[in-house]
């Protein structure tokens, strides 16, 4: 696979698939610019070489074509401030105006195309749509690892229309860092799995059981495991159809000599509300009408100790409903432990999605080894699946 480092963009128009799927507030202001910052080195390399950059991305999940809420025009000012150059905007990603803007683009300039998902053809992987986009550039660059697991027009189909296709710095870093926890990870190796559902993580948990020394389970998915062990979990989130699977995973961990650690105590509430009544309960005996919304202090201390003494740490998914301040303590404790392990020389990979938001919101983004921008894509890659967006560059 060719990388941007091995390619000279002088005089070339680079059509770059970026991941600008960033959260905007009601005033259309960017609330987390992690994904925007990630792509800066790739664009800078192209402009520095004397090329121009045509950026294409999706934003959100627009259902009925164009809408103000999902327009990429809200990012123009940010891009102009970042790259200190003219950023032209095509109000439609295909059509005459976009074609004209692309044709007249000068070296050192940027063209931002409107949201690709305003067209249903993008997600359908439509070949004609991909070909229309392909006309704008001399070279195709994919730097959108977060969408590499989707066989969409701009990620997987478009590459066939280019002789020159290269992988951007984000894509390269994501693959390299994923390999560090998949290949020869230093021991002790600890994986922390959180989030709401065990069903989202089955394949990766099974694969990790062949690699890790410790598997920590927190977040909503832990209640399915506790239920499997005969515990009373009150009204906590549970996947009843996955209880038998949880039993199997517990047994597999035993058979493989993996230390599988579940929460001993839980922060429980009488309703799903930041201002609910709160108590700490034994995880196996939660009161009938109460729900677990975070790991308890004993568990946080135990998880933190294991993490801090690890040489490789993979973290995917929060320990509780961290968006509410009453239930963020467990996630904060684990984040601090990951930072501590990193300071002690461990390699730490934060696996996208909510864990990335948590680590960045706490200001620890630069204190861990790598924060992935691709939640679903990283999980699928680690499950051993072929990512269409990566395969298209090979």
Query: Is 183-382 in the same CATH topology as 4-172?
Result: yes
Pick the catalytic residue from 60, 108, 365, 376: 376
Pick the catalytic residue from 37, 73, 197, 311: 197
Which residues, 6+ apart, have CB-to-CB distance to 389 below 8 Å?
17, 142, 144, 145, 147, 148, 149, 150, 155, 156, 171, 377
* Arithmetic mean of pLDDT over the chain: 94
Predicted local confidence at residue 216, as pLDDT? 97
- pLDDT confidence band for 344 (50 / 70 / 90): very high
Pick the catalytic residue from 195, 353, 375, 389: 353
CATH match for 183-382 among 3.40.50.1260, 3.40.140.10, 3.30.43.10, 2.40.10.230: 3.40.50.1260
Predicted local confidence at residue 227, as pLDDT? 97
User: 4-172 maps to which CATH number?
Assistant: 3.40.50.1260
d(CA 204, CA 372): 16
- What would the pLDDT profile of 352-362 be if each residue is shown by its tens digit? 678 888 888 88
Pick the catalytic residue from 13, 35, 45, 165: 35
- Is 197 a catalytic site residue? yes
* Average pLDDT score over residue span 10-17: 98
* Average pLDDT score over residue span 276-291: 97
Provide the H-helix boundaries in the chain: 34-38, 40-49, 76-83, 96-103, 120-124, 127-134, 169-182, 202-208, 222-228, 243-255, 297-308, 329-343, 353-361, 375-382, 388-391
Name the residue ranges covered by the structural domains of the chain: 4-172, 183-382
Whether the CB-CB separation of 312 and 181 falls below 8 Å is answered with: yes
- What would the pLDDT profile of 40-86 be if each residue is shown by its tens digit? 999 999 999 999 999 999 999 998 889 999 999 999 999 999 999 99
- What would the pLDDT profile of 160-171 be if each residue is shown by its tens digit? 999 999 999 999
- Is 353 a catalytic site residue? yes
* Average pLDDT score over residue span 293-311: 97
pLDDT at 365 over 90: no
How much of the chain exceeds pLDDT 70, in percent?
Answer: 100
Predicted local confidence at residue 351, as pLDDT? 86
Question: For strand 110-113 and strand 87-90, is the pairing parallel, antiparallel, or unpaired?
Answer: parallel
d(CA 209, CA 214): 9
Predicted local confidence at residue 199, as pLDDT? 83
Predicted local confidence at residue 352, as pLDDT? 67
- What would the pLDDT profile of 146-187 be if each residue is shown by its tens digit? 899 999 999 999 999 999 999 999 999 999 999 999 888 999
pLDDT at 107 over 70: yes
């Amino acid at each position: 696979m060719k990388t941007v480092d091995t390619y000279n963009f002088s005089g070339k128009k680079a059509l770059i698939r970026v991941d600008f799927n960033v959260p905007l507030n009601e005033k259309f202001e960017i609330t987390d610019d992690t994904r925007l910052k990630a792509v800066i080195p790739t664009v800078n390399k192209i402009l520095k070489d004397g090329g121009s950059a045509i950026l294409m991305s999706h934003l959100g999940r627009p259902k009925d074509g164009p809408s103000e809420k999902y327009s990429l025009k809200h990012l123009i000012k940010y891009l102009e401030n970042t790259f200190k150059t003219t950023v032209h905007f095509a109000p439609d990603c295909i059509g005459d105006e976009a074609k004209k803007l692309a044709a007249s683009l000068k070296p050192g300039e940027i063209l931002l195309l409107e949201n690709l998902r305003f067209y249903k053809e993008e997600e359908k992987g439509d070949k004609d749509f991909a070909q229309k986009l392909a006309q704008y550039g001399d070279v195709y660059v994919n730097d959108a690892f977060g969408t590499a697991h989707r066989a969409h027009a701009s990620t997987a189909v478009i590459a066939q229309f280019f002789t020159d296709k290269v992988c951007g710095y984000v894509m390269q870093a994501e693959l390299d860092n994923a390999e560090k926890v998949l290949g020869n990870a230093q021991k002790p190796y600890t994986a922390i799995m959180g989030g709401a559902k065990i069903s989202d993580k089955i394949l990766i948990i099974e694969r990790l059981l062949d690699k890790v020394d410790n598997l920590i389970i927190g977040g909503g998915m832990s209640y399915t495991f506790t239920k499997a062990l005969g515990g009373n979990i009150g009204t906590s989130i549970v996947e009843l159809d996955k209880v038998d699977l949880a039993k199997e995973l517990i047994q597999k961990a035993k058979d493989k000599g993996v230390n599988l650690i579940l929460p001993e105590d839980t922060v429980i509430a009488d309703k799903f509300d930041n201002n609910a009544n709160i108590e700490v309960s034994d995880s196996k005996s939660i009161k009938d009408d109460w729900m677990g919304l975070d790991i308890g202090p004993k568990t946080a201390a135990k998880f933190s100790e294991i993490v801090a003494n690890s040489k490789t740490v993979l973290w995917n998914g929060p320990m509780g409903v961290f968006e509410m301040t009453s239930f963020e303590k467990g996630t904060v404790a684990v984040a601090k432990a990951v930072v501590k392990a990193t300071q002690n020389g461990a390699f730490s990979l934060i696996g996208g999605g909510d864990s990335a938001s948590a680590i960045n919101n706490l200001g620890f983004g630069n204190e861990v080894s790598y924060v992935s921008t691709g939640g679903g894509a990283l999980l699928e890659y680690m499950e051993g699946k072929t990512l269409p967006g990566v395969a298209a560059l090979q």
